[in-house]
Structure 1
Amino acid sequence: MDDVTLVGIDLGKHSFHLHGQDAKGKAVVRKKLSRKQLIEFFATFHACTVIMEACAGSHHMARKLAAFGHTVKLISPQFVRPFVKSNKNDFVDAEAICEAASRPAMRFVTPKTESQQTLSALHRVRDSLVRDRTKTSDQMHGFLLEFGISLPVGHAVIKRLPAVLAEHPLPPRLVTILERLHAHFKYLSEQIGAIDKDIAVQLAEDDLGQRLLSIPGVGPITASVLAAEMGDGKQYGCSRDFAASVGLVPRQYSTGGKANLLGISKRGDKNIRRLLVQCARAYMQRLDRQCGRLADWVRAMLTRRHSNVVACALANKLARTAWALATRNTRFDAGARAMPA
């Protein structure tokens, strides 16, 4: 097995399937190992290139194997699927991973650090709590509407629900249900507030996060998510590559030498894309108080394009600006020339 240069691993919860190839692409290794056996195997194996699909446990495993001196690369599952042969099984998947990784033009995913993974988990918990709070609020609105009480939209009126209940005669059991929902709503709000404080503390200690906050329209949540998901940005060749990775560039359907550009592709992380579009809209709402080249560009765009189109174009520009700040170790300058769209 000394001639093995490339090892593909099909990850699982308890079992891992390995497919090793030599420099000529000939299969040399074919093993099924447990998690403990996998660590022991690579701890004594000679340095080689290890390829895995980017998934939940791949980043931890990548850090583990890299500590043994191996070169670890993660590949998106969508790029592996075309190389899977018929009669799919775990060994065939591992072979397909090797085949996909051997392509010279293949794109890979940069493994996350522990801090990036932890921050990403914190954001996912926050998103889950926000969804639960919205669901709880909608339930209270719906139950009250069934009894002829229509409340204004928003969370502010939910906070004074006890006063609303006192003003209207309602069945005692319904009041008990609404009080339970209100208590749950308050608990969720407290948890979201605590997570926001944790994010603010981590962001204050992060140099990249502080530089991302200098971008107009970008707040703590967006800056924290970008710092966790983008990192130093060196895995992208240019700013347009990062904007394309989050689906903020036009979708192309060209043939016969005729270029046909459609709407944004909506690929990649939809959470980052949503946050950047929200940042763009927040910037546009305060456009009368903005100055600099970026503000002039937005005003010029609004004279000839719909505000929704401008919001997506501005989100694209914010994504490219974030990449530039991450890779060049700089801060946003409102007077500087904006990144081209």
Structure 2
Amino acid sequence: MKVSTLGIDLAKNVFQLHGVDHEGHTVLRKKLTRAKFVQFVIQLEPCLIGMEACSSSHHFARLFSRHGHEVKLIPPQYVKPYVKTNKTDAADAEAICEAVTRPNMRFVQIKTEEQQAVLALHTERGILIRERIACSNSLRATLAEFGITIAAGQSHLTRDLPAILEDGENGLSPFVRTSIYRQANHIRELEEQVKQVEEALASWYRTQEACQRMAKIPGVGMLTATYVVAAVGNARQFSTAKQFASWLGLTPKEHSSGGKQQLGGISKRGDGYFRYLLVH
């Protein structure tokens, strides 16, 4: 059995493999558990491996590349047209195996462990900020039910809360005061965690020349620079600046037919978090 191209449908516990030879004939259809999956692929002779880009794909891509395989990651939306009839794990693996050999297929650059680590910090920071906003809104709503309003902005909330808690004539019951005190402490803890994450990003930023070059662009700071370098890498997957803009989602959505070009507005495709950083 000589596998030339191998398509892998990644999952949490069960992995589906589909392999073909140099002539395109199917020579492998196999379902493996997580315990046997890695060892089986490593023992194969070096071949072209295709996988959908997902949370674990970069880890497996680095692992298989170290054992001589050529690994390519495909965006899931580009695999879907190659799925025949009903969607199954076996059909997905076959579609990946076929899509990875297409000459005009677009691939995702394999990220390093360092890139993924920096992106994990950005993910953590985003979760903490969303939780802080949710807690702040809940606290404002609780106070509003007792006729106490605070001006918009996190700084006003931090500044006014101590005075509200110390005011014994504002009608707040002991239960409410205790609840507000707990929520305020939780918000302060979240703010401290956000600062710790930003300090970690800043320390990595100072060691990266590419980040410092990015920060010279007006409007680009430490957060945007670290995210771009971690998410894009060396940017060799883009042959032109227009492709980078399309990946980011800054190009209009097109729906042209019959020789008539119809351009819409900016779509929500692309990297939403990157656009969020640029807006800020």
TM-score by length of 2: 0.95
Name 2:125's counterpart in structure 1. 126
- Identical residues among aligned pairs (%): 45
- Deviation track 1:54-112 (CA, whole Å, cap 9, x = no partner) reads 01100000000000010000001111112212233211110011122222211111111
Name 1:304's counterpart in structure 2. none
Counterpart Cα distance in 2 of 1:182 and 1:195? 20
Counterpart Cα distance in 1 of 2:114 and 2:27? 37
Counterpart Cα distance in 1 of 2:41 and 2:135? 49
Name 1:183's counterpart in structure 2. 185
Q: Superposed, which structure 2 residues align to 1:11-90 within 5 Å?
A: 11-90=10-89
Whether the 8 Å contact between 2:57 and 2:73 is mirrored in structure 1 is yes
Any gaps of 5 or more consecutive residues in structure 1? Answer: 279-341
Name 1:107's counterpart in structure 2. 106
Q: Which moved more, 1:31-40 or 1:117-126?
A: 31-40
Whether the 8 Å contact between 1:62 and 1:111 is mirrored in structure 2 is yes
Whether the 8 Å contact between 1:50 and 1:71 is mirrored in structure 2 is yes
Counterpart Cα distance in 2 of 1:82 and 1:256? 22
CA shift, 1:166, in A, is 2.2
TM-score by length of 1: 0.79
SS of the counterpart of 1:17? strand
Whether the 8 Å contact between 2:116 and 2:230 is mirrored in structure 1 is yes
Whether the 8 Å contact between 1:76 and 1:109 is mirrored in structure 2 is yes
Name 2:214's counterpart in structure 1. 212
Q: Let me know the Cα RMSD of the aligned residues.
A: 1.2
- Deviation track 1:168-226 (CA, whole Å, cap 9, x = no partner) reads 23111111110010000000000001111111001101111111111111011111110
Counterpart Cα distance in 1 of 2:271 and 2:55? 15
Name 1:166's counterpart in structure 2. 166
Counterpart Cα distance in 1 of 2:270 and 2:252? 13
Name 1:274's counterpart in structure 2. 276
CA shift, 1:265, in A, is 2.4
SS of the counterpart of 2:171? coil
CA shift, 1:35, in A, is 2.8
CA shift, 1:232, in A, is 0.6
SS of the counterpart of 2:18? strand
Name 1:194's counterpart in structure 2. 196
Name 1:255's counterpart in structure 2. 257
Counterpart Cα distance in 1 of 2:242 and 2:43? 41
Counterpart Cα distance in 1 of 2:176 and 2:127? 27
Whether the 8 Å contact between 1:246 and 1:266 is mirrored in structure 2 is no
Counterpart Cα distance in 1 of 2:272 and 2:96? 25
Whether the 8 Å contact between 2:215 and 2:222 is mirrored in structure 1 is yes
Counterpart Cα distance in 2 of 1:36 and 1:115? 26
CA shift, 1:37, in A, is 2.2
- Deviation track 1:8-56 (CA, whole Å, cap 9, x = no partner) reads 0011112211100112221111112233422222322211100001011
Name 1:325's counterpart in structure 2. none
Counterpart Cα distance in 1 of 2:54 and 2:128? 23
Counterpart Cα distance in 2 of 1:84 and 1:175? 59
Whether the 8 Å contact between 2:16 and 2:93 is mirrored in structure 1 is yes
User: Which residue identity is paired with 2:222?
Assistant: P
User: Which residue identity is paired with 2:143?
Assistant: L
Whether the 8 Å contact between 1:100 and 1:106 is mirrored in structure 2 is yes
- Deviation track 1:204-254 (CA, whole Å, cap 9, x = no partner) reads 011111111111110111111101101110011111101101110111122
Whether the 8 Å contact between 1:42 and 1:68 is mirrored in structure 2 is no
- Deviation track 1:116-142 (CA, whole Å, cap 9, x = no partner) reads 111111110100000000011101111
User: Which residue identity is paired with 2:50?
Assistant: I
- Deviation track 1:278-333 (CA, whole Å, cap 9, x = no partner) reads 3xxxxxxxxxxxxxxxxxxxxxxxxxxxxxxxxxxxxxxxxxxxxxxxxxxxxxxx
Count of aligned positions: 277
Name 1:227's counterpart in structure 2. 229
Q: Superposed, which structure 2 residues align to 1:91-106 within 5 Å?
A: 91-106=90-105
SS of the counterpart of 2:273? helix
